[in-house]
Amino acid sequence: MSEVSAPDKNVLRVEDLVMYFRTQKGAVRAVDKVSFDLGYNEAIVVLGESGCGKSSLAKAILRLLPRNIDTYTGKVYLEEVETMGLSEEEFRRQVRWVKMSLVPQAAMNALNPVLRVGDQVAEPMLVHHGVTKEQAMAQAKRMFQHVGVPVDFINRYAFELSGGMRQRVALAMSLVTAPALVVLDEPTSALDVLTQANIFNTLKRIKQDLQISFILITHDIATSSELADRAVVMYAGEIVEVNDSTTFFTTPLHPYSQKLLASVPRLRAVQEPEFIPGQPPSLVDLAPACRFAPRCSFRFEKCDEDPPIIRKGRIQVRCWLHA
Amino acid sequence: MSTEDRLQETVESIPTDVPAASPATGTGNGTLLSVQDLHVWFELKRFGFGHAGWVKAVDGVTFDLHYGESIAVVGESGCGKSSLMKTILGLYRPTKGDIVFEGKNIGLKSARELRWYRSQVGYVQQDPYGALPPFMSAQKILGEPLAINGVKSKQERQERILKVMEEVKMTPVDDFLPKFPHMLSGGQQQRMVIARAMIMGPKLLVADEPVSMLDASVRVEILRLLRGLQASHNLAVIFITHDLSTVRYFSERIFVMYAGNLVEKCKVDELLRNPLHPYTRALLEASPDPDPHNLLVFKEVPPGEPPSLIKPPPGCRFHPRCSRMIDGLCNVEKPPDFEPSPDHLTACWLYK
């Protein structure tokens, strides 16, 4: 378990991360010069619409690369270790599932149907920590308690569990090796409202008890406010805003963030939701200009030039309005 | 008419101010659809034959839907809302009870009458990409229902296709007609599905989670489109969803469904202001708004999971999870609908 360090130390620091895919039409700029950091025991949410590069960002950080990779550069510091310089084998042994793990999208369907869930949760312990089977199973049982799965479910198969329980098992599997950072890719998008609320209660408790950092990747703005201390907004492969959740969910800075928040139907406020006209640009041929400008209501002459990233402390915004 | 003219006409016809969920055409306009004591049970077989019990997906559902009215059915997965919807669409036969559409019982229909019924009821599927045949162009997708329902003149078919495409704002129409589903964005695919549901001029639209697969920024656009169609065609809409926050902007009345029963029926505003059934309260409590304050609180969620529909608990089906359970009543006798305030029905013993 990583200890809470001084606030100037980060569990993760990403600098100018670039990941392009090779396609017949040209390079798809899925992640384009992305920089952000994440403190110990902090949760950050990466928000954006489908195709904005948020899942690619998760894959780039965990180095789960598809075959058609075109460019993959930048720096990723995990607990002050630069991971981009590690070889594939070193990365597998030292980083993936040791310091950082993933709850994949549709995790409830990601479980192996022919393995008992207890064995699946214990497996990373056997592989990475070389413990005995009994020790691994004991650790798996502890994790089941943390995520709220009854311990006697340990001998069941995935099909014997409900969607919410399977999601919890996938979460237990990501926590079992006590990583410092867990990436959650759309953890509740397929679940019911009550189950979703339950899972977020669990995540909050785990964050308190185990002092883990989370990267939450989602398009669901309302539920992300349950866990996130900070918010990152991506648009067309770029980060357009990084902000504290207290300011982000009330007064976001970037025009895209403002429109995104205005598009959320609300239950407790009388406010007609708005939609964002137009579509995001193709990520293949992008002009050096603000990528949101064609849909932006604040557009002015400057927007034809590539906007700089304006930084104020840990806040980032990529917009000429704030220059 | 040239494409430019048509485009111009469409641009002019787009309402500048989208009307709210049609209060004028709502209730008091006669009953379009009446569902009476509907039961939809599926038989469980042992070893392929031999009766082993029933899955009681819909167990005694009663409601009326008026012309031009929009209702929402809200519930969790497995509560029977999809079975209810599919029975209304005529895809399942009711085990018991009646579905009366414009005075005609649609339970036991001949193929011919079913075809008429299906031209009166449009279906908007949840996953637009899965719902559109990948090998058919927009032109063909929209032409097929017309041909099947006996619109013989090619010219008339073409006119109706153009009209419906303009109504769902797929303009310029000529650009979209030759396109295949994979060439369209998610929002455009959902517009195609809506166009297909609208092409026969239905009186009722059944929309099964029409926006749950779409991005937040597109959702509102599709909801507004549906709302606009509902108002301009005096269309009745059954909107099936698990997301309470979208209901508020779309429907007039809301039904909350739990384990095969409707537990609360009232106007949407009334439900949000004054939820009565403990299950409704739990749903409202669990649905978040984007608010940084959420970070600090743990939600109160009822323990356990929805019951098996094969052997549902006796009495009120929510009683094993309910914090206000009255022993000897809730776990014994099934609650009837009570009406603690006018037009606000709830099946809960707390309001007897």
Kindly state whether residue A190 falls inside one of the protein's structural domains.
no
User: Could you read off the pLDDT of A24-60 as tens digits, one per residue?
Assistant: 988 999 999 999 999 999 999 999 988 899 989 999 9
Q: What is the mean pLDDT of residues B179-185?
A: 91
> To probe the interface with B, which of A149, A160, A192, A283 has the most B CB atoms within 10 Å?
A192
Minimal-distance CA residue of chain A relative to B280: A194
> To probe the interface with A, which of B129, B272, B289 has the most A CB atoms within 10 Å?
B289
Q: Which residues of A touch B224 (CB under 8 A)?
A: 275
Q: What is the mean pLDDT of residues B152-159?
A: 91
Evaluate whether A97 touches A179 at the Cβ level (below 8 Å): yes
Q: Which residues of B touch A163 (CB under 8 A)?
A: 77
Of residues B183, B118, B172, the one with CA closest to residue B145: B118
Does residue A9 register a pLDDT over 80?
no
The residues, any chain, with a CB within 8 Å of residue B321's CB and separated by 6 or more, are: B279, B302, B303, B304
> To probe the interface with A, which of B191, B217, B239 has the most A CB atoms within 10 Å?
B217
Q: Which residues of B touch A260 (CB under 8 A)?
A: 216-217
Q: Which residues of B touch A220 (CB under 8 A)?
A: 216
The 3-state DSSP composition of chain A as helix, strand, coil percent (nearest 5) reads 35, 25, 40
Q: Which residues of B touch A228 (CB under 8 A)?
A: 295
Per-residue confidence (pLDDT) for residue B304, from 0 to 100: 84
**pTM to 2 decimal places:** 0.86
For the packed helices A133-147 and A163-175, what is the interaxial angle rounded to 10 degrees?
130
**B244 interfacial to chain A (CB closer than 8 Å):** yes
**B254 interfacial to chain A (CB closer than 8 Å):** no
- Would you call B216 and A249 a contact, using CB atoms and an 8 Å cutoff? no
Does residue B294 register a pLDDT over 50?
yes
Q: Which residues of B touch A224 (CB under 8 A)?
A: 290
- Would you call B245 and A222 a contact, using CB atoms and an 8 Å cutoff? yes
Q: What is the mean pLDDT of residues B20-24?
A: 34
Per-residue confidence (pLDDT) for residue A8, from 0 to 100: 59
Locate A118 and state its tokens. Answer: 């207890």
- Would you call B294 and A225 a contact, using CB atoms and an 8 Å cutoff? yes
Cα separation, A217 vs A48, in Å, equals 9
Place of tokens 């785990």: A206
More confident position, A287 or B15: A287
Q: Which amino acid is at B199?
A: I
Kindly state whether residue A64 falls inside one of the protein's structural domains.
yes
Per-residue confidence (pLDDT) for residue B268, from 0 to 100: 92
- Would you call B243 and A193 a contact, using CB atoms and an 8 Å cutoff? yes
Cα separation, B51 vs B292, in Å, equals 53
Q: Give me the residues paired with residue A102 across strands.
A: A183
Does residue B26 register a pLDDT over 60?
no
- Would you call A264 and B289 a contact, using CB atoms and an 8 Å cutoff? yes
- Would you call B245 and A267 a contact, using CB atoms and an 8 Å cutoff? yes
| Distance between B228 CA and the closest CA of chain A, angstroms | 15
Does residue A7 register a pLDDT over 80?
no
Cα separation, A33 vs A234, in Å, equals 11
Structural domain count of chain A: 1
- Would you call B294 and A50 a contact, using CB atoms and an 8 Å cutoff? no
Does residue B149 register a pLDDT over 90?
no
A300: CATH: 3.40.50.300
For the packed helices A193-210 and B278-286, what is the interaxial angle rounded to 10 degrees?
50
Kindly state whether residue A167 falls inside one of the protein's structural domains.
no
**B282 interfacial to chain A (CB closer than 8 Å):** yes
- Would you call A265 and B242 a contact, using CB atoms and an 8 Å cutoff? no
**A131: buried, middle or exposed (CB in 10 Å: 19+, 13-18, 0-12)?**
middle
Window B:36-95, CB contacts with A under 8 Å: 76-77
Per-residue confidence (pLDDT) for residue B29, from 0 to 100: 59
The residues, any chain, with a CB within 8 Å of residue A101's CB and separated by 6 or more, are: A124, A173, A174, A175, A177, A179, A181, A182, A183
Nearest to B292 among A220, A245, A259 (CB): A245
**B291 interfacial to chain A (CB closer than 8 Å):** yes
For the packed helices A133-147 and A117-129, what is the interaxial angle rounded to 10 degrees?
120
| Distance between A9 CA and the closest CA of chain B, angstroms | 23
| Distance between B3 CA and the closest CA of chain A, angstroms | 21
Minimal-distance CA residue of chain B relative to A250: B291
Nearest to B272 among A250, A267, A275 (CB): A267
Kindly state whether residue A224 falls inside one of the protein's structural domains.
yes
Q: Which residues of A touch B218 (CB under 8 A)?
A: 275
Q: Which residues of A touch B216 (CB under 8 A)?
A: 49, 219-221, 260, 263-264
Q: What is the mean pLDDT of residues B4-26?
A: 39
Per-residue confidence (pLDDT) for residue B8, from 0 to 100: 42
- Would you call A229 and B244 a contact, using CB atoms and an 8 Å cutoff? no
Which helix (H) or strand (E) segment holds residue A92: the answer is: helix A88-94
- Would you call B288 and A260 a contact, using CB atoms and an 8 Å cutoff? no
Nearest to B76 among A193, A204, A265 (CB): A193
Q: Which residues of B touch A223 (CB under 8 A)?
A: 288
- What count of CB pairs under 8 Å joins A to B? 117
- Would you call B301 and A263 a contact, using CB atoms and an 8 Å cutoff? no
Cα separation, A268 vs A109, in Å, equals 33
| Distance between B270 CA and the closest CA of chain A, angstroms | 13
**B226 interfacial to chain A (CB closer than 8 Å):** no
Q: What is the mean pLDDT of residues A285-311?
A: 91
Q: What is the mean pLDDT of residues A273-296?
A: 89
**B292 interfacial to chain A (CB closer than 8 Å):** yes
Kindly state whether residue A170 falls inside one of the protein's structural domains.
no
Kindly state whether residue A321 falls inside one of the protein's structural domains.
yes
Of residues A110, A205, A206, the one with CA closest to residue A161: A110
Please state, for a pLDDT cut of 90, what percent of chain B lies above it: 56
Domain housing A237: 9-87+216-265+273-308+316-323
Res. B108 pLDDT band, cuts 50 70 90 = low
> To probe the interface with A, which of B127, B189, B215, B250 has the most A CB atoms within 10 Å?
B215
Q: Which residues of A touch B294 (CB under 8 A)?
A: 225-226
Per-residue confidence (pLDDT) for residue A188, from 0 to 100: 83
Does residue B27 register a pLDDT over 70?
no
Kindly state whether residue A299 falls inside one of the protein's structural domains.
yes
Of residues A51, A15, A53, A13, the one with CA closest to residue A31: A53
Per-residue confidence (pLDDT) for residue A61, from 0 to 100: 93
User: Could you read off the pLDDT of A220-260 as tens digits, one per residue?
Assistant: 899 999 999 999 999 999 999 999 999 999 999 999 999 99
Res. A1 pLDDT band, cuts 50 70 90 = very low
Does residue A4 register a pLDDT over 70?
no
Kindly state whether residue A165 falls inside one of the protein's structural domains.
no
Cα separation, B190 vs B188, in Å, equals 5
